[in-house]
Amino acid sequence: MTRPAPFCTLTDTADLHDELAAIRHDLHQHPELAYHEFRTADKVAECLEGWGYLVTRGLGGTGMVASLSAGTSTRAVAVRADMDALPIAEETGLSYASTHAGKMHACGHDGHTTMVLGAARHLARTRQFDGTVHLVFQPAEEIGSDSGAVRMIADGLFERFPCEAIFGLHNHPGYPAGTFMFRSGAFMAASDKAKITIHGRGGHAARPQLSIDPVVIGSSLVMALQTVVARNIDPMQTAVITVGVFHAGHTANVIPETATLELSIRSFDPAVRKLLETRIRALVESHVAGYGATADIDYVIGYPVVVNSHAETVLAAEVARELVGEANVIDHFAPIAGSEDFAYYLEKKPGCFLRLGNGEQQPMLHNAAYDFNDANLTTGAAYWTRLVERFLSAPL
């Protein structure tokens, strides 16, 4: 007769804290942007190979997969961590602040990578699972299109490293460290972009009647674009159009020839996503034409909706409850308008993308004052370890 293997607890990874904090701080000091994560990949691979993992490098550019098997089962599960940083100048004043000017880990990918490394460390020394775990270390999550997930899948990720499900997480400032958040179904938004170039007719600021002013047209268009969501999208649906860039002119006494707007467009439903593109294109063309100008529209389809599969989300939440208790788990967390290229994995495999609180008073993501909360390092390591053990349950 067999009995279940003991699953990882928070106590089991507590001894790893100093080691993991040192790794995380080293990664934080040396942030690297999309597809340039060379030192990061070297550091990660060195750790994993030292712990006995079979490491395959070069997927999606600087990405890698570390594999470890135990027992006799042919079942497999994947856990993903992202590695890239952001083009932001750090303003934390930390002793381990970025040494690379204009680059920082302002989204916590240094922490995500380190938590998975912590799980790798503990799984290697205990091997209390039956099957294979594939740890996916991905480049270029922040890039917005042609991302690391797309390239790793194109390089045969799931054919070369078959798995039954894939899991990932992102830290979430504003909630206590160690709090886990889940949602089955659509969880994070699709994210598209549009660059609109308005072509008017330049001229002297004192003779506007002889010009077609793209600044006035663009200003009017910014306001008109807000009616797309307000008057074309079902109020029960969610959508966002944000004009984040408006460039025009170089001096006060010249009406410029062109003005450029750049839009961020978010949605959770495929039909809404398509309608947004249709209405934005139609509105821009007609609105600009009404002023006697023309416009070029470069519409870029970005990340799809993150859609968590139900069974895997239930399991992931159960593991969290077992680890940190009911009070530290939030089911049915509200949808998030941010986007994630983990969505591409979920189009291919069942899985769950979850959130982990980074601290109630911590700066928001993509902020120059942001830092990942080291209190989460061993919690995340224990969580990923327990999830792998539960998914690949092994008898003793």
Tell whether pTM > 0.85.
yes
Confidence of residue 6 (pLDDT cuts 50, 70, 90): confident
Encode pLDDT of 163-177 as tens digits. 999 999 999 999 999
3-state secondary structure 189-211: CEEEEEEEEEECECEECCCHHHC
Amino acid at 118: G
Percent of the chain at pLDDT exceeding 90? 97
Q: How far apart, in whole angstroms, are the C-alpha atoms of residue 352 and residue 185? A: 9
Say what the pLDDT of residue 3 is. Answer: 40
Place of tokens 């072509």: 199
* Per-residue pLDDT reduced to its tens digit, 321-359: 999 999 999 999 999 999 999 999 999 999 999 999 999
Q: Which CATH class is domain 10-187+305-391?
A: alpha beta
Q: For 156-169, b where at least 16 C-beta lie within 10 A, e where not — what string?
A: ebeeebebbbbbbb
Instruction: Tell which residue, 85, 151, 149, has the closest CA to residue 112.
Output: 85
Average pLDDT, the chain: 97
In sequence order, what are the beta bridge partners of 116?
none
d(CA 117, CA 133) in angstroms, rounded, equals 13
pLDDT confidence of 1, banded at 50, 70, 90? very low
Count of residues in the chain: 396
Helix (H, G, I), strand (E, B) or coil at 188: strand
pLDDT exceeds cutoff 90 at 44: yes
Instruction: Read off the pLDDT of residues 57-90 as tens digits, 9 standing for 90 and up.
Output: 999 999 999 999 999 999 999 999 999 999 999 9
Closest C-alpha among 127, 37, 86, 159 to residue 388: 127
- CA dihedral of residues 269, 153, 59, 118 (deg, nearest 10): 60
Render pLDDT for 84-132 as a digit per residue (tens, 0 to 9).
999 999 999 999 999 999 999 999 999 999 999 999 999 999 999 999 9
pLDDT band at 150 (very low <50, low <70, confident <90, very high): very high
CATH topology of domain 190-300: Alpha-Beta Plaits (3.30.70)
DSSP codes of every residue in 279-296: HHHHHHHHHHHTTT-EEE
State the Cα–Cα distance between residues 5 and 181, nearest whole angstrom: 26
Lowest mean pLDDT, pick from 2-11, 304-313, 379-388:
2-11
Which residue ranges make up each domain of the chain? 10-187+305-391, 190-300
pLDDT tens digits for range 281-316: 999 999 999 999 999 999 999 999 999 999 999 999
Reply yes or no on whether the pLDDT at 2 is more than 50.
no
Rounded to an integer, what distance in angstroms lies between the CA atom of residue 217 and that of residue 197? Answer: 11
Which residues are within 8 A (CB) of 301 and not within 5 positions of it... i.e. 6 or more apart? Answer: 145, 192
Rounded distance between C-alpha atoms, residue 68 and residue 57, angstroms: 15
Q: What is the pLDDT of residues 247-284, one digit of tens each?
A: 999 999 999 999 999 999 999 999 999 999 999 999 99
What are the angstrom distances between the C-alpha of 191 and each of 267, 309, 337, 386? 7, 20, 9, 32
The pLDDT of residue 396: 44
Per-residue confidence (pLDDT) for residue 5, from 0 to 100 = 57
Token look-up 């460390």 returns: 121
